[in-house]
Structure 1
């Protein structure tokens, strides 16, 4: 039975940001770097691990708090306004592992919730992420390996028009080792058989709540043939 904890704190002095100043008489806008203070963050985590014969439990629970400052001028104000965003989040993860001579199974579950608040706009938003998965690998006849991974993810947030966003990923792989000392290996891997993999990240800053989506490779398979020269003695 093992128990551990960690605390962290960071503070940035004279952070540099861009400020927009507007002269209503001339209609000229001036953009210049300005130093601001008040950007700091803190986090805490608690770790627990325990082993019972071939089973091992790993768990973590933690939270964070951030204080972010920026200067915004969304209209044509003479001077920019200070935008303060307070970020609060908590998260947890549980991993259960089974490890035998020829078999490995890992089940995991994760949860994350964040609730940023912007004082300038008086707005509040939320972001929730859940994920669970099962990874496994088995070795049989001393030369064959087979395994796979299935993972389910659910994302939910207050971002406009985003709604619930879920995905299920299924990957499979197998390999055959042969020749003397199993030096040669032929492997096959098929990634995201369901072709539902997505790349999405969400967060908040003094400029607003954001969501990034990027294109990634969908379903694909791969054959590899490798030779380990360390086994040729």
Structure 2
């Protein structure tokens, strides 16, 4: 382990201004075909003035550290336009088209008197097809793509020394990547039996992706990070979700299943690493309500997660978990209402982490409405009544499987008074003068 003390006084002044506008024009070309044209203009400018001062002999922090001080001025103009054709006939709905945006980017390093200009074009095609079997049953599939430009931080990072063991380097030779997204869904609902079926799927992939190249010094533990293009690999994401529900004895009961995963790449000390994540989540849910009386909803289900990195195959983060949630509200006499909700989370031990995590977050509210219109409400709310709230996260990226825990706001109470303005009054109408 290494410990580095940074004894500096830092002053940051950051300011951003953004203006956006958009115009759209629709032209019917026939009874079944319309054309939508749009144009947008976006202007943004900002300044990031970050100064670091070292301690002088007098004990004051007034010696400017020129290596880790920055003063950047950023100006950006984006002109965008596009055309979308919409076709609708019978049970068929189809639209297709594309949008383009031209970006003029200018950054000035006022501290070192340097200027960086960049111009690029973003391409955003889209298409959608929907077939309506009936008002309660349809199938839909769509596609959209977009150019992903490298960020300013990836091209020319701001020099900072707040984390000397992790240094980010710029790469001015980065090229844009292109991401394609596809999803499809099928839904059906039977009114008499209150039976519903829903199936959806999503898949995306990225060509010429921008990934992280990490080099770690095993002696000092310091790492440098640089973004590069990876032309021979294609990162991807996918998800599949299905659910079926039916009303039984006045209660809506349903089963659901969700599966999602992703594959990502990066370089670790010049060795290409592949990280695969998968999550499987079946669930059961119930819902029962009566207008003006009560409403209850809840679901619960196990979860199994796998995380494997090719560079460190001996370590993984495969493990079980569980998720549950409930919410409910009851209307009481005297215009009182009680509402409550809770969420349960459990993450089991894995090969990488020999500890489990569980918590139950429970909130409740008592409220009362006033007046005939019931537009004045007072509420007493209690959050995290069991005082268990804690930040927790497990993730895998850049060949590292990490777990973080952090403190957050725990149990607290809040009293609120709210007034619902349902009308914007203009006063009584003035009668017309009579001759």
TM-score, L = length of structure 2: 0.47
Q: Which residue of the partner structure matches residue 213 of structure 1? A: 405
- Residue of structure 2 equivalent to 1:125: 317
Supply the distance in 1 between the matched residues of 2:416 and 2:384 (Cα, whole angstroms).
Answer: 18
Per-residue Cα deviation, 1:42-66 (whole angstroms, up to 9, x for no partner): 2222121222463112332022332
In structure 1, which of residues 3, 8, 13 is the aligned counterpart of residue 207 of structure 2? 13
Contact preservation (8 Å) 2:317, 2:351: yes
Seen in structure 2, the aligned counterparts of structure 1 residues 58 and 40 have a Cα distance that, compared at 3 Å, is same
Which SS does the other structure have where 2:348 is aligned? Answer: strand
Q: Is contact 2:303–2:323 with CA below 8 Å preserved after alignment?
A: no
Q: Does 2:104 match 1:104?
A: no
- For residue 137 of structure 1, report the CA deviation from its aligned partner: 0.9
- Asked if 1:47 corresponds to 2:238, the answer is no
Instruction: State which of 419, 425, 429 in structure 2 corresponds to 1:227.
Output: 419
CA distance in 1, matches of 2:390, 2:411: 11
Query: Does the Cα contact within 8 Å between 2:340 and 2:362 map onto a contact in 1?
Result: yes
Q: Give 1:216 shift.
A: 1.8
Q: 1:32 to 1:87 in 2, by over 3 A?
A: closer
Give deviations 1:57-84, integer Å, cap 9, x for gaps.
23320223322211011xxxxxx00011
Question: Do 1:159 and 1:209's aligned partners in 2 also have CA atoms closer than 8 Å?
Answer: no
Q: How does 1:175-190 map to 2 (within 5 A)?
A: 175-190=367-382
Counterpart-to-counterpart distance in 1, 2:214 and 2:307: 25
1:149 aligns with 2:345: no
Structure 2 residue aligned with 1:76: none
Q: Which residue of 1 aligns with 2:280?
A: 90
Which has the larger displacement, 187-196 or 57-66?
57-66
CA-to-partner distance for each residue in 1:90-139, whole Å, 9 max, x for gaps? Answer: 11222201101301111210332111112222233213321223322100
* C-alpha distance 229-85 of structure 1, shift in aligned 2 (>3 A): closer
Cα drift, residue 21 of structure 1: 7.3
Higher relative contact order, structure no. (Cα contacts within 8 Å, ≥ 6 residues apart) = 1
CA distance in 2, matches of 1:165, 1:50: 34
Confirm or deny: 8 A CA contact 1:70 1:207 kept in the other structure. yes
Sort the Cα spacing of 1:116 and 1:18 in 2 relative to 1 into closer, same or farther, 3 A: closer
Question: In structure 2, how many angstroms separate the alpha carbons of the residues matched to 1:231 and 1:92?
Answer: 45
Residue segments in structure 1 that go unaligned for 5+ positions in a row? 23-28, 74-79
Deviation at 1:231, TM superposition (A): 7.3
The answer as to whether partners of 1:191 and 1:221 remain within 8 angstroms in 2 is yes
Using a 3 Å threshold, how does the CA distance of structure 1 residues 160 and 141 change in structure 2: closer, same or farther? same
Supply the distance in 2 between the matched residues of 1:165 and 1:21 (Cα, whole angstroms).
32
Q: Which structure would you say has the larger Rg?
A: 2
Write the distance in 1 (CA, Å) between the matches of 2:380 and 2:322.
Answer: 30
Pick aligned residue for 2:389 from 189, 192, 197? 197
**How many Å apart are 1:160 and its aligned residue?**
4.7
Aligned match of 1:26? none
Identify unmatched segments of 5+ residues in structure 2.
Answer: 1-194, 217-222, 426-435
What CA distance in whole angstroms lies between the structure 2 residues aligned with 1:107 and 1:226?
Answer: 28
Maintained 8 Å contact 2:215/2:268:
no
User: RMSD in angstroms over aligned alpha carbons?
Assistant: 2.6
Deviation at 1:203, TM superposition (A): 2.1
SS at match of 1:186: strand
Shift of 1:228: 1.9
**Residue in 2 that maps onto 1:72:** 268
Q: How far apart are the structure 1 equivalents of 2:354 and 2:420?
A: 48
Matched-pair contact (CA < 8 Å) for 2:203–2:237: yes
Report how many residues are paired: 221
The separation in 2 between residues aligned to 1:205 and 1:42, in whole angstroms, is 17
